[in-house]
Structure 1
């Protein structure tokens, strides 16, 4: 068994993640491809055997490839071995997803803030190995099944070899060691390189800590996806009915005024004809009707449009899919709903798709049912403010946290003396000031979030600065200091 193998999957498309083949690189120069569609390889059992061995498995965007493989196995694969565990509902994932056996060069690149982050760019820049991208080989409006199997195999194996070489170049196994390490590369002048990019990088212990946490979270995210969350069928149906009726009511009001609320262009013309002043979009082709603009209008019809959009989002993004309508519009309400997670390749932020369950509107959360009968929730209370107080050494903030006093109450009393700390609206405004200020929120943004006039926000802004003078001075020093920023 080789100590390290790199893996890549080919799927029909980025939207259709049906696995059509799996590639495995055994070393920097040898790779094999196991087709699944259109014709399944008779040696596919060897693929599962390789994957079940205790080698380090290196990926580029591990979550995507792992989803493709585990879902293929769960959808009817008949073989045995360690991968049979993926068939169970909660996906007791293969044992090799444990400590130190999973590697992801995409995560490595984000943690190091490399200028080259896609596989093709990293392979060309750091390993001197040029590979094709999807755009290079796939005609527009076609998918991978439209290509010859040999062409798909070549691309998949090239991707595996590129992943292996980049993993090796970045010091692969050293990412789990206790000490820092440095890796370097020769600039690829032939295929083009950035002359300003460093030719060596040091991976600190803090970087390794972040990387190891991400790798340990990957199996957890997959288990969450496979387990899903239960729905209360009666509440799904009730919310769908009420939301549909409310949406139709808002739509009728707008239609009576002569415009379709689903058309931004008609909304802009309709509101402007009533005397509302709206800015143009960047294209200058129509009036802007975004939420931040409509929410500042005093016209009740603007509120109607916003309500229509809110109900449309609830219905179309959540309730309609959960109702499970067939072609005859007969409902088959889902018992459970599932989603997938992915690491955004440009920002490294965690996002969800099919379904998006990361930002469920609070008003419909009663639809979900806990499997154990009891919900448990936790929150890192004011983590950004606590870090900010520690970094800036502001005495007022530090004293508040040392004494266990709610810092939002302190801000509320400073900005609106004598108001009730239990007043939800005033507390929300105090929270807006605290969190917006530490992220350099402008007077305009403060006014937008608090719904207060800019002049009043300017006065409160000065009061906030006087309440936390050391923090304010620290931010000013950062703004007027060096021409770069550092991550905390």
Structure 2
């Protein structure tokens, strides 16, 4: 094809390369090249996007010319104008850095022009090309959603947000900025840009900027006539910051005269060249994409060589473990075949085991099949209760499919090896499988758990589900469950999945689990977290499994009565709210509430979202409640409404039909600090600070002849803070048994202890706990419903009085920034990947880093107590039922309560020994009663 001169009738496509790269990087899980471990996830996504672009660029709107434009480096002429330009940009992720040059290679492999220039941003190159194309009489489509490029729109230039498939023309720009493209620069100069660190005019946002530009015509006219502006604050801002605003305009103005080293004619569309493209895709080891594109181009796909397996992580890991594609997964249908597997398990001494069931609730799900894996790449599935009939049948048959072992026969064969102390059973979230087996008469022990190993190694970095671990650490995406089960009303349970489909899915789970174990086990020692895993993670599995299966009795009648009482309380609050508002409205409608607060009552801080409704979230209402009564009452109404829907109504549905008890499920790896999380139902979030919240605990009752006993660590986090921050006054107060909140109030407000009022003590308590969580003046103001300045004054005075706390905080943040993690006193590592981030995440990351060693150490202490409790209570009829943060709840015959309290208190108060010698003793409060409220 001969070159054509760019002109009328030509259509130029300019692709924002950075946008494609970052979209690809963040949208896909990490992926590495099997042959050498090179990160290639973003390259894979980038190539997929380019391929989709090429396929979609047909018809009347197809381009005649195209280029992908990249940023060459971080330093441009704008940095010479203003050294803080883009200074707060986060550093590029380490695993993305080596992928950037590969995206250039990918562009060229697709036979698309790829352009960048030292000292200029991609946006400047796009601007120059757009202006040149427009002047030549052609059309331009800029494929990007970058708002900075909107100043170019109009006269034949449009934008296309490829992710949303939305075209942006002049009207689209007006919708975004409130001005047309030729005035976008003026609005941006006033509003500034926090992402690029363009200063703008302090306190002026996009909306105000657009109003001003529309009124005065241009930024220059506005600045010349700034003294005419009626609002004094706005007027002064423009006068005082004129130089800064004029600089901001230079920073946001795109350069249409970038000295390009190529011409529009060089960007002519070319057909993909298989001789360039296929070798690149094969080199990247993109098997699926290579095949798909080869088919499109009508050429033979090159053979992508099978990569050698990565070097073994440990002596146990087979260096020649087969690729998942070559794995051998067997279906076990009779006792003889299963016996062969059991002999191999005994020979090796370990086995990865996984169960398939009819649901996620271990207390109600039925066992469908069992998977086993002894050698990576060789696993089996034992189908047990797969049924005839599938999703197409209106009434699925309950007839068992042929070719399955009887359930009891398989369990009788497996029970001796699953209970054998000399054979290690490896699982992913083993607590679930252990409970399924326990309900079928098999007590699985001893166990290892890959989820908990990952948690000990990588807490705070990512979640620890099997799919995520497989993709991240094995470079393999597991077979998904959704295509097997379907979704919505047509979804089926696993017992309806055909056996031939179930075998590869289920066996692969055991195979992945074994490979993860082989990788993680030796890493525990290298990362110095073996003790954490062996003393606080692994031993929790049987302890929690027993507690969860035990459950706690909940009185349905009490819940029903409470639901009615809450309904009445809500009605009374609604009447009060309507009186304060001067009219009736739906209190549960955020839209109507926003109109009352901000339109009718003119309260400050009203912000409308995309829907046009005011934001009325809890933070907004808490801010307003520091000054106004109505939002405070709405918060009260929402609290009661939540208690009713989340607890008194929902708890009734969680009562197990067989046991008459509620069986929560604890997640050991739920929170990075080591705190347990509770689900189905969540019993950790029942509020205890309000009278209504405390009343819900009345519904949790003991069986007849028994009592509930609560043991609760007293102010454990403040005690740990006194120890780690070495605060003599607090240590002494704990040693003397002084009321710590009253002491803090006395120290801060110069009020003698004998003159202490409940209100002053309440403020001190909020500060004591707030400081642990890195609370801000804003947060404390909301908690206490007092003005922010007063709250900030409290915090400042607190640090003056206890300077050691500020030192601890500063030292902890510095440690986190240097090492990328913090640690509890027991060695639990809590990663802090956001600690060096700029912008809104920075404050949150610092607060989390400060709190994690304290909260994490408290969590470790109670874990250690729970792990020791079964042995301590071996001869007692007492049963541990619940753990809620710093509290353990037991059930025991009435005459055994005193002995239980003595034993359990001793275990809890000495739980840190001998690993950590605390300089502040731990104290445990105990109570008993017919229900949880009485006991606590």
Per the alignment, in what secondary structure is the counterpart of residue 370 of structure 2?
Answer: strand
8 Å CA contact retained: 1:414, 1:467: yes
Structure-2 separation of matches of 1:420 and 1:284: 53
The aligned residue for residue 274 of structure 1 is: 601
The aligned residue for residue 429 of structure 2 is: 61
Aligned residue pairs total: 431
Structure-2 separation of matches of 1:430 and 1:135: 52
Structure-1 separation of matches of 2:405 and 2:786: 69
TM-score by length of 2: 0.42
1:105 is displaced (CA, Å) by 0.6
Q: Output aligned runs, 1:35-50, within 5 Å.
A: 35=383, 36-38=385-387, 39=400, 41-44=404-407, 45-47=409-411, 49-50=413-414
Structure-2 separation of matches of 1:52 and 1:152: 26
CA 1:414 to 1:281, structure 2 compared with 1: closer, same or farther past 3 Å? farther
Structure-2 separation of matches of 1:119 and 1:356: 23
The aligned residue for residue 27 of structure 1 is: 375
8 Å CA contact retained: 1:394, 1:470: yes
Structure-2 separation of matches of 1:25 and 1:162: 9
Per the alignment, in what secondary structure is the counterpart of residue 260 of structure 1?
Answer: coil
CA 1:277 to 1:11, structure 2 compared with 1: closer, same or farther past 3 Å? farther
Q: Does 1:374 align with 2:707?
A: yes
Structure-2 separation of matches of 1:48 and 1:128: 37
Per the alignment, in what secondary structure is the counterpart of residue 532 of structure 2?
Answer: helix
1:367 is displaced (CA, Å) by 2.0
CA 1:285 to 1:67, structure 2 compared with 1: closer, same or farther past 3 Å? farther
Structure-1 separation of matches of 2:615 and 2:720: 38
The aligned residue for residue 187 of structure 1 is: none
1:276 is displaced (CA, Å) by 2.7
Structure-1 separation of matches of 2:632 and 2:763: 21
Structure-1 separation of matches of 2:668 and 2:778: 32
8 Å CA contact retained: 1:268, 1:278: no
Structure-2 separation of matches of 1:169 and 1:4: 15
The aligned residue for residue 118 of structure 2 is: none
CA 1:126 to 1:308, structure 2 compared with 1: closer, same or farther past 3 Å? closer
Q: Does 1:293 align with 2:620?
A: yes
Per the alignment, in what secondary structure is the counterpart of residue 440 of structure 1?
Answer: coil
The aligned residue for residue 202 of structure 1 is: 526
Q: Output aligned runs, 1:48-447, within 5 Å.
A: 49-53=413-417, 54=420, 55-70=423-438, 73=440, 82-83=441-442, 94=443, 96-97=444-445, 101-113=446-458, 117-127=464-474, 131-134=478-481, 141=488, 142-143=491-492, 145=494, 147-171=497-521, 182-183=522-523, 202-204=526-528, 207-251=530-574, 257-272=583-598, 273-280=600-607, 283=610, 285-295=612-622, 296-297=624-625, 298-322=627-651, 335-344=660-669, 347=672, 349-360=675-686, 361-371=693-703, 372-418=705-751, 423-447=757-781
Structure-1 separation of matches of 2:725 and 2:633: 44
CA 1:406 to 1:223, structure 2 compared with 1: closer, same or farther past 3 Å? same
8 Å CA contact retained: 1:231, 1:337: yes
8 Å CA contact retained: 1:233, 1:335: no
1:299 is displaced (CA, Å) by 4.6
Task: Give the stretch that moved more between structures: 212-221 or 129-138.
Answer: 129-138
1:239 is displaced (CA, Å) by 1.6
The aligned residue for residue 476 of structure 1 is: 810
Task: Give the stretch that moved more between structures: 28-37 or 133-142.
Answer: 133-142
Task: Give the stretch that moved more between structures: 368-377 or 130-139.
Answer: 130-139
CA 1:201 to 1:287, structure 2 compared with 1: closer, same or farther past 3 Å? farther
TM-score by length of 1: 0.76
Return the match for 1:467 from 801, 815, 824: 801
The aligned residue for residue 880 of structure 2 is: none
CA 1:465 to 1:299, structure 2 compared with 1: closer, same or farther past 3 Å? closer
The aligned residue for residue 34 of structure 2 is: none
Structure-1 separation of matches of 2:685 and 2:784: 21
| Per-residue Cα deviation, 1:211-238 (whole angstroms, up to 9, x for no partner) | 4333222222222222222234553343
Structure 2's unaligned 5+ residue stretches are 1-341, 388-399, 687-692, 825-936
- Root-mean-square deviation (CA), in Å? 3.4
Structure-2 separation of matches of 1:315 and 1:398: 41
| Per-residue Cα deviation, 1:429-453 (whole angstroms, up to 9, x for no partner) | 2122122223322111121222222
1:160 is displaced (CA, Å) by 0.3
Structure-2 separation of matches of 1:162 and 1:346: 24
CA 1:289 to 1:107, structure 2 compared with 1: closer, same or farther past 3 Å? same
The aligned residue for residue 451 of structure 1 is: 785
1:154 is displaced (CA, Å) by 1.0
8 Å CA contact retained: 1:401, 1:407: yes
8 Å CA contact retained: 1:61, 1:104: yes
Structure-1 separation of matches of 2:512 and 2:814: 43
Structure-2 separation of matches of 1:387 and 1:169: 35
1:463 is displaced (CA, Å) by 1.8
| Per-residue Cα deviation, 1:116-158 (whole angstroms, up to 9, x for no partner) | 6332343355456653243576655445547533222211100
Per the alignment, in what secondary structure is the counterpart of residue 677 of structure 2?
Answer: strand
Return the match for 1:6 from 352, 366, 375: 352
CA 1:425 to 1:398, structure 2 compared with 1: closer, same or farther past 3 Å? same
| Per-residue Cα deviation, 1:327-356 (whole angstroms, up to 9, x for no partner) | xxxxx9x95333222345674753222222
Structure-2 separation of matches of 1:166 and 1:281: 48
Structure-2 separation of matches of 1:236 and 1:461: 41
1:110 is displaced (CA, Å) by 0.9
Task: Give the stretch that moved more between structures: 38-47 or 426-435.
Answer: 38-47
CA 1:103 to 1:140, structure 2 compared with 1: closer, same or farther past 3 Å? same
Per the alignment, in what secondary structure is the counterpart of residue 538 of structure 2?
Answer: helix
Structure-2 separation of matches of 1:255 and 1:149: 61
1:9 is displaced (CA, Å) by 2.5
For the pair shown, the structure with the greater C-alpha radius of gyration is 2
Higher relative contact order, structure no. (Cα contacts within 8 Å, ≥ 6 residues apart): 1
The aligned residue for residue 87 of structure 1 is: none
CA 1:223 to 1:478, structure 2 compared with 1: closer, same or farther past 3 Å? closer
8 Å CA contact retained: 1:278, 1:288: no
Per the alignment, in what secondary structure is the counterpart of residue 760 of structure 2?
Answer: helix
